[in-house]
Structure 1
């Protein structure tokens, strides 16, 4: 198991949580200033300097129970309140969304691009709050420093660690069921088509070489899928196009989400003083 997996797990799950909360705040017509305060408070807590210093230390993954506790506290780091059922649905959707992204990653290294997609969106949430923006930028630098120099094998170990963490989670999510990417038993349907990973070729060709390295024969075989050439590689720097779409906000278009704020949450967000934190 990789001791470098925890930061990626936390940041990606946190990004998914923020997508869902943002969608719910907009759907319930929470005033813009109150909604911004909710998001800013949660992001400030998520990127707390001392917490991240501990998070980025090489260590085993938290247990499922411990990680759930972390996100319970994070979701309530603002004036917003979720009841137990809403928090359960929120966490289920977060975990299944990131599990799907891990499964679909073309290469293990692309987990970092998925993380950067989440980070880019989080940065956009706080674009009008310079102090919080600095916290997010510092986390970019930590991610780049820790992960960009890792080998493909080390990223494969990180991916395997994540898959082991998620392997017993087969929660059915309405969005995935409607999109037919999840079966009724909670298992995901993985595509056998689309672009191949960057740096690889479309399957379906066997090339044979002589002992001198000269190609002497080619055989074609059915690959069983409709594959296309690889897309260009995304940017692994703080800025740039990521190319890969995994980890972007799937709620940016209007669609129902199986997570709901409690009635008291909406009222408290509207009526409690903006400076109050719980």
Structure 2
């Protein structure tokens, strides 16, 4: 579906044709047949080349926008626009990373241009999320470089996010902090006492009794008797010695 071509788009080609034909008529009046014919042909060619009727490279706007990416340029241009002609001269031939859209042959493309500055913004270049108006070759190259750098940083961020969300192997820390935390938890687990049986716990809870020293005195008596073999005690002799003598002695 073609768009409505503005009247000013015909102004430049009309002036070229009229001016060229006037010069050709003057040359023919001077009987410079070859010169007049050459000027007339050149005027007609330039009028066609700069007019909206020239098709040029064109891809439907919907298909072009489906290729929108950081490494792909979508150039909306119009025949007869000087900047569009210069950009086409600089970017020659068909390239897989460039898509051209003639706004005069696509109503959706024309509406997009009007929403982003009108026909005065042509050529309009779309690279990823970037939209460049009145694009020269220098601005085109700058936009491509900026989009490539942005795409690289975004790709790195996505890779880091994907790595962070990916399940890690058992026991493999992902960062130095995680490694330190893992080492600390391992040390703490080793420092915890192993479980003991009830018998072992009871034996450890029982108060320890210190052995008595041989020189330590007895609790109820005086000095402890020296160690040695026991001597039999003669109770009768002791009793006779303690009782008084009846004879008066």
Q: State the TM-score, normalizing by the size of structure 1.
A: 0.20
Q: Which structure carries more relative contact order (alpha carbon 8 Å, separation 6+)?
A: 1
Q: State the TM-score, normalizing by the size of structure 2.
A: 0.22
Larger radius of gyration between Structure 1 and Structure 2: 2
